[in-house]
Structure 1
């Protein structure tokens, strides 16, 4: 019997090449614990610590024996029972962790002997065993946590060793998007910051290399309160001095005699400019690290594609996307186009195409009148070109459908409140409300951590009031920063009664109310019934009507109300609440109540506990 246990990602068991489902999470934890200690007996008490995050129950031993019995049915005599212990016997290539570590060790020997080409191949093979975070899906808080953390750290080290070898091999150009994606997910890796600086320098982009150093310094100071180490700061000085040792000599094997390549025109003679339209990225960016990494990964690989970033009004969609776009910008040397539709449903696909064509250098008079012709010209211009398109404020899939990449080269990032589900072949990143800890960190970035620490109760109340809204937190933090002597409790008291909350959640050009109004207006323009239903829910947020009651009051069928509810959920204006129920999220209900208070909104008494189920 040939086994393969895979722990570098979702736990997986293969028997003679066939995937076998190990069962529930605790049974997979038993398999993982025994595999990590392969060919050694693991006592039942030790195994229990690997499976349960808290004190094991009194039935732990019986449960472990039951899990072991089920595993034995699959792996046979490979699982050996000892007195109060079990042992899983595996061969040298039957555990991906062992294979990964062996390949990494072999590569380090090759690096020490200057065999960079072989080291690159071996390190690449080692990383190929990873399919996601180690032991993805297993219970956390167990005795295995340190093992998983160690493995994840080893993965980062091997990636950076591979990057070092590729830099030595002259692969600095192709390495840029991978390094940017790595740093988007792991922004505290000083070694990787240095590698990105060196890769940019060797690509001839000295200003970008110096900008990366400033970014690294700001992030280290913001998140750890430290300055870059001597290695990174020394590299910065060397780049400023244009130190000759930073240049990369091509490997000897790469020096070959070849006929000169035919001249290739760098740009088409007509209709091409190199746009650099990305707005400035946010100076303060807290949380959302994993979401930013998802966006970077979606467009920064070898085959750029499309990604849709969605979330409620004020969730920080634009800030995240702009940051991610700057992260991968160097991988798109043919330009970056940024279009803001402002959540205007009246903007047509043809207008979006015309805007993009003009950005690429097509004269306004030369833009075809027909939308299909515009789309055809656009795809001809961008075919095979590394061009990044960012379209913000999208309300309908049709507005960006003609921009979807038809092949490798261009990439598209779309920002909107709706999921735009009819767009095929795109990745979707959904921004949920910030959790309490990152929300507090964002508030602290504006107001100062010492000030929040001085009144933790009021700080917690202010965080709850902002309900995970990045925009609300930025406004509250800005207000505190504007008045350094004003206590946190004082601002919380001003917000307290809720009647003026949206008035206070506005500062200069930042406004929660305006953000919500744009989202509601977009829904209303597409679906009048959804807009009226939203106001109806706002009139009685604590006792919203059942579907039939709402249908009667709105003068439409129950099926039409259900469709309107689906539209509101898709726009993040209503949240599902239990089996078939719905609720207005915090801050949204404040705006809905304002709309409901207008004279045109019906205010019939309601007695039902919540909106009924969508299912017919």
Structure 2
């Protein structure tokens, strides 16, 4: 017995080439449910949910057995009774759903292999199986509804894949009426809007193509409250730029793949290859493990994004630059370096404008709206091996639009805080450097002989610097500048806490300026955190409840302020649940408590060394 069951339209049953009427709607639903689960047992309760829209009646089991008996008289032993279940045995070619999906898969493969002619024939054959909406005429609001919706969605996808194949074959002029009819029935299909735009563009009607984009934008906004997606926006921008990739090329000319018109467009601006990384700091001898972690994050599977955090002066920027140089050969499309200077006023739009200009977009062409800048940026960098390093970030919103949307670009963000709301990023937090690495850095700057002659004083110097790379660099520079100067002399000078921050400054390097910037960032978001820092600087070890009383806030609010300081690496939690300030932070906080807020604002105006922050 040869069966043919058709579900892509009105449910039909053919036996040995002759159409047989299955019966009433519920019997056709039983047939459809068993066919769509062909060669699998379908339990009676599950089958009942495929037939009745609400709770099946008490007679559901008896009714199902009656329907099954009627179908068995037509299909014979193809319908097998199981314990409390039925199974319909079918060969793949006996169900139109299977044949449609087989041909659709073949056509999709031909399209991917740049064989548009073969894809057109195969995808056309796949769509020929459809005679109307799937499961037409069956009861609705049943368990089969999701199956019909999925099949109808597959039909739309295959139509759009066939359209891509026909565009690749140069049939743009013949597609216009079909695409308009398709969009009239399915106005939310962004892919189809793009196809209609491209067909009009290739017919030479650029104004009509741009008008279609306006229509698509209006429909999406009215019905969904959304702007067009990245692909449609990218296509619109490419049309404005008269991108040569949009034009159809006859066979024998430059290759045009079926996916190129929509998926692989690049705006026709001149792509500059930026090389903006600062020089590799050759004296950088610490943080080898953390540098390896950043490199691993940049070379992992997409998205490649890493956030480097740490205290002021911990070497965050130095590490980011060194890691950037280590992987620069993997990013031949360029490296962009942006320093926000820990300015809280910098917006994401300003960052995007800076990056777009670095990539060759003329300043006059940079869009005004942030979302348009973000869309153009994603279009420009899609698939390109570009490395972005953004230094001095104060909040996640400043870099969120730069997060890689797919393979190709990579992002290093340097921040004092953890930026916990950034999703899908690797975080590398810098702790104070250990004594061995601290001695290595001092030896590189001042000479190993001088340190070897005074091991005890060297240990004291390392302790005073508190694991701060910036403080160690300054101390090493001072030792190297003083011919014949002893380590113990410098330690004695630094031992006076009141003068320590004055001495930890050398040319444009300053621990005080670095700390001032870090504190100003925290204070801009939470003034209480700044006041808490001053209180702990004036009276170290003050219990939280006491600090809360003195500041006139609840203990819970005081804890939140202290947690802000911990997140900014300006305070540390001890083993007993209390909070303490690192040595250099404590020195600066004591200064704040003595001179008040004005010095904070003045100090924050001086940017600290970009190599050490």
TM-score computed with the length of structure 2 as normaliser:
0.54
1:287 Cα offset (Å): 2.1
The count of residues paired between Structure 1 and Structure 2 equals 341
Indicate the SS of the match to 1:499.
helix
Find the counterpart in structure 2 of residue 347 from structure 1. 346
Find the counterpart in structure 2 of residue 262 from structure 1. 255
1:548 Cα offset (Å): 2.8
Task: Note if contact 1:274-1:360 (Cα within 8 Å) is conserved in structure 2.
Answer: yes
The reply on whether 1:561 has 2:558 as its aligned counterpart is yes
The reply on whether 1:274 has 2:267 as its aligned counterpart is no
Find the counterpart in structure 2 of residue 502 from structure 1. 501
In structure 1, C-alpha distance between the alignment counterparts of 2:253 and 2:427, rounded to whole Å: 44
The reply on whether 1:592 has 2:585 as its aligned counterpart is no
5+ long unaligned stretches in structure 2: 1-251, 599-613
In structure 2, C-alpha distance between the alignment counterparts of 1:451 and 1:266, rounded to whole Å: 61
The reply on whether 1:377 has 2:358 as its aligned counterpart is no
Find the counterpart in structure 2 of residue 572 from structure 1. 569
Q: How does 1:352-371 map to 2 (within 5 A)?
A: 352-371=351-370
1:450 Cα offset (Å): 0.9
Find the counterpart in structure 2 of residue 536 from structure 1. 535
The reply on whether 1:548 has 2:545 as its aligned counterpart is yes
Task: Note if contact 1:271-1:363 (Cα within 8 Å) is conserved in structure 2.
Answer: no
Task: Note if contact 2:277-2:336 (Cα within 8 Å) is conserved in structure 1.
Answer: yes
Indicate the SS of the match to 2:271.
coil
Find the counterpart in structure 2 of residue 167 from structure 1. none
Task: Note if contact 2:457-2:488 (Cα within 8 Å) is conserved in structure 1.
Answer: yes
Find the counterpart in structure 2 of residue 582 from structure 1. 579
In structure 1, C-alpha distance between the alignment counterparts of 2:442 and 2:354, rounded to whole Å: 37
Find the counterpart in structure 2 of residue 467 from structure 1. 466
Structure 1 residues 330 and 551 mapped into 2: Cα distance closer, same or farther (>3 Å)? same
- 1:570-589 deviation digits (Å, cap 9, x = unpaired): 00000001232110011010
In structure 2, C-alpha distance between the alignment counterparts of 1:526 and 1:362, rounded to whole Å: 34
Task: Note if contact 2:310-2:429 (Cα within 8 Å) is conserved in structure 1.
Answer: yes
In structure 1, C-alpha distance between the alignment counterparts of 2:302 and 2:404, rounded to whole Å: 10
1:366 Cα offset (Å): 1.2
- 1:435-479 deviation digits (Å, cap 9, x = unpaired): 111100110001111111011111111111111110111000000
- 1:158-180 deviation digits (Å, cap 9, x = unpaired): xxxxxxxxxxxxxxxxxxxxxxx
In structure 2, C-alpha distance between the alignment counterparts of 1:288 and 1:585, rounded to whole Å: 19
In structure 2, C-alpha distance between the alignment counterparts of 1:384 and 1:262, rounded to whole Å: 19
Task: Note if contact 1:505-1:512 (Cα within 8 Å) is conserved in structure 2.
Answer: yes
Structure 1 residues 600 and 466 mapped into 2: Cα distance closer, same or farther (>3 Å)? closer
Q: How does 1:187-336 map to 2 (within 5 A)?
A: 262=255, 268-270=267-269, 272-301=271-300, 303=302, 305-336=304-335
In structure 2, C-alpha distance between the alignment counterparts of 1:572 and 1:455, rounded to whole Å: 32
Indicate the SS of the match to 1:587.
helix
Indicate the SS of the match to 2:451.
helix
The reply on whether 1:446 has 2:445 as its aligned counterpart is yes
In structure 2, C-alpha distance between the alignment counterparts of 1:446 and 1:348, rounded to whole Å: 38
5+ long unaligned stretches in structure 1: 1-258, 602-616
C-alpha RMSD of matched pairs (Å): 2.0
- 1:250-287 deviation digits (Å, cap 9, x = unpaired): xxxxxxxxx99839999753152111110111120112
Task: Note if contact 2:544-2:578 (Cα within 8 Å) is conserved in structure 1.
Answer: no
In structure 2, C-alpha distance between the alignment counterparts of 1:403 and 1:459, rounded to whole Å: 44
Find the counterpart in structure 2 of residue 248 from structure 1. none
In structure 2, C-alpha distance between the alignment counterparts of 1:369 and 1:554, rounded to whole Å: 44
Q: Quick check: which has more Rg, 1 or 2?
A: 2
Task: Note if contact 2:393-2:415 (Cα within 8 Å) is conserved in structure 1.
Answer: yes
Task: Note if contact 1:388-1:410 (Cα within 8 Å) is conserved in structure 2.
Answer: yes
Find the counterpart in structure 2 of residue 337 from structure 1. 336
1:494 Cα offset (Å): 0.9
In structure 2, C-alpha distance between the alignment counterparts of 1:553 and 1:442, rounded to whole Å: 42
Find the counterpart in structure 1 of residue 32 from structure 2. none
Structure 1 residues 271 and 346 mapped into 2: Cα distance closer, same or farther (>3 Å)? farther
Indicate the SS of the match to 2:497.
coil
In structure 1, C-alpha distance between the alignment counterparts of 2:576 and 2:374, rounded to whole Å: 44
Indicate the SS of the match to 2:327.
helix
Indicate the SS of the match to 1:564.
helix
Q: How does 1:113-152 map to 2 (within 5 A)?
A: none
In structure 2, C-alpha distance between the alignment counterparts of 1:363 and 1:537, rounded to whole Å: 50
Find the counterpart in structure 2 of residue 405 from structure 1. 404
In structure 1, C-alpha distance between the alignment counterparts of 2:366 and 2:475, rounded to whole Å: 45
- 1:42-85 deviation digits (Å, cap 9, x = unpaired): xxxxxxxxxxxxxxxxxxxxxxxxxxxxxxxxxxxxxxxxxxxx
Does 392-401 or 300-309 show the bigger shift?
A: 300-309
